[in-house]
């Protein structure tokens, strides 16, 4: 008996599948045939030969090559990135003296800075500084006038300082790009012909990285020091209106501070190391490895040139005594632990309290006589990557703190230490139609109670004064 044809043994599904395969093969054959006919009508073109060009041999670097260091050799855990942890970040090449871009000071400002050089001692504070500010009420007395809001530098401000000049208000700011701007708040420039310094603003470009610190000592206000994330420390020559690079580091400098009893002693944080630089010798005399990650602030206790506090991204605040800090295995007087990085730790004007600002969304105040006597205030410190971090600073007395907020205003915290336990609360919210950006960093005028400068990420500065 003859076997049935193969098609008869197929199921309906298999038969439809075979028909689809044959139809697709027919369509593909037709497409290939048309493609062959089309390619035959196009004349072949001979490929062009590329002309060989001899490349110049790259020149060898003139300066020494800076070797990168691994996380292990820097003591940084592998789970933390060196950028976020603030560990020593290697530069691609060693810094070199920056090109100077100078403007011209007004005659009145230049004379004020020159006259300050002749003063051996700082002018006395207004009737004892702290005592004179006891009755000061920021919420009732501080106002922001339209003329006291000015853009000083092109980009985001990371550092701001009011110079210790008794006769005028002079604000110095440093931005993310390396600019340093001077703003003479007291008046317009009279002898300005080419437009530089209009409305008392003078712009310079001394750094190649973000300006993380600006300091000027009360005993030598004409000596203006600045530091950058590019590892530079510069000293401004007021006479020539130029910046001289006095020290270069291999890693970023995150904070800068001066010793209270010496204007030539500079303390700076190079990553997680604290270093002492003597401007008279031009050398770093001492280095201490104080934290596991970057140091965000350095502050000396008033009336005590030996005690200072440091805050760090390693989630600790440490208080040190300069006389007992050792180079190897330094031990602090007190360690305050947090859950997140701490951006600042500053002593109160009397030196009896310490205020900290942390990324755990808190502002904390400690009684230095008893650290268990403290208070914690909730504060939104999530500024993100486009804003400078908030740093709460003390007022001219121990009664108030100033800290920026995300509502384009300033929170005023009232502190009471007179009772048995320390207490603090929000009492005032400073806002103005002229403050068009979020104030992140602040500086007080050391001799004029009621002159508060707030700096923003738009390059603007807002100077609040007494009504």
Average pLDDT for residues 414-419, to the nearest whole number? 87
Render pLDDT for 335-365 as a digit per residue (tens, 0 to 9): 999 999 999 999 999 999 999 999 999 999 9
Whole-number pLDDT of residue 111: 72
pLDDT over threshold 60, residue 404? yes
Render pLDDT for 31-76 as a digit per residue (tens, 0 to 9): 888 887 777 776 655 444 444 344 444 454 444 333 344 444 444 4
Q: What pTM did the predictor assign?
A: 0.76
Render pLDDT for 3-24 as a digit per residue (tens, 0 to 9): 555 556 678 888 888 888 888 8
Average pLDDT for residues 194-204, to the nearest whole number? 69
Q: How confident is the model at residue 2 (pLDDT cuts 50, 70, 90)?
A: low
Average pLDDT for residues 163-181, to the nearest whole number? 93
Average pLDDT for residues 117-122, to the nearest whole number? 56
Render pLDDT for 256-275 as a digit per residue (tens, 0 to 9): 999 888 888 999 999 999 99
Share of the chain above pLDDT 90, in %: 58
Residues 6+ apart with CB under 8 A from 244: 234, 235, 236, 237
Which of the two residues, 78 and 163, has the higher pLDDT score? 163
Q: What is the overall mean pLDDT for the chain? A: 82
Average pLDDT for residues 239-243, to the nearest whole number? 82
């Amino acid at each position: 008996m003859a076997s049935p044809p193969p098609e008869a043994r197929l199921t309906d599904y298999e038969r439809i599948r075979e028909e689809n395969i044959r139809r697709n093969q027919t369509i593909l054959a037709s497409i290939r045939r048309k493609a062959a006919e089309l390619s035959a009508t196009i004349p072949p073109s001979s490929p062009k030969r590329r002309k060989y060009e001899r490349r110049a041999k790259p020149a060898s670097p003139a300066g020494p090559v800076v070797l990168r260091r691994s996380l292990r050799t820097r003591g940084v855990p592998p789970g933390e990135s060196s950028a976020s942890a603030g560990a020593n970040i290697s530069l691609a090449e060693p810094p070199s003296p920056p090109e100077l871009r100078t403007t011209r000071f007004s005659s009145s400002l230049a004379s004020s800075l020159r006259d300050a050089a002749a003063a051996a001692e700082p002018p006395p504070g207004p009737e004892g500084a702290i005592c004179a500010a006891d009755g000061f009420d920021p919420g009732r007395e501080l106002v922001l006038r339209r003329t006291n809001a000015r853009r000083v530098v092109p980009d985001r401000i990371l550092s701001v300082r009011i110079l210790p000049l008794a006769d005028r208000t002079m604000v110095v700011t440093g931005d993310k790009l390396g600019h340093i701007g001077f703003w003479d708040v007291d008046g317009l420039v009279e002898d300005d012909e080419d437009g530089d310094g209009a409305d008392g603003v003078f712009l310079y470009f001394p750094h190649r990285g973000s300006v993380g610190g600006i300091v000027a000592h009360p005993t030598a206000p004409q000596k203006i020091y600045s530091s950058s994330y590019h590892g530079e420390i510069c000293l401004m020559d007021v006479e020539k209106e130029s910046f001289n690079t006095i020290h270069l580091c291999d890693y970023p400098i995150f904070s800068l501070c001066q010793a209270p009893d010496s204007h030539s002693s500079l303390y700076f944080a190079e990553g997680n190391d604290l270093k002492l630089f003597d401007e008279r010798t031009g050398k770093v005399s001492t280095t201490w490895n104080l934290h596991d990650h970057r140091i965000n602030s350095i502050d000396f206790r008033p009336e005590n040139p030996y005690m200072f506090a440091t805050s760090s991204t390693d989630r600790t605040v440490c208080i040190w005594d300069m006389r007992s800090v050792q180079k190897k295995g330094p031990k602090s007087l007190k360690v305050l632990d947090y859950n997140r990085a701490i951006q600042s730790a500053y002593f109160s004007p009397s030196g009896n309290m310490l205020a900290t600002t942390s990324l755990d969304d808190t502002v904390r105040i400690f009684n230095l006589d008893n650290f268990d006597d403290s208070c914690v205030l909730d504060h939104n410190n999530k500024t993100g990557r486009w804003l400078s971090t908030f740093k709460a600073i003390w007022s001219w007395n121990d009664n108030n703190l100033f800290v920026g907020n995300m509502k384009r205003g300033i929170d005023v915290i009232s502190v009471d230490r007179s009772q048995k336990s320390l207490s603090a609360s929000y009492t005032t919210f400073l806002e103005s139609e002229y403050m068009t950006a979020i104030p992140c960093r602040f500086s007080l005028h050391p001799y004029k109670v009621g002159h508060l400068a707030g700096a923003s990420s738009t390059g603007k500065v807002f100077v609040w004064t007494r009504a």
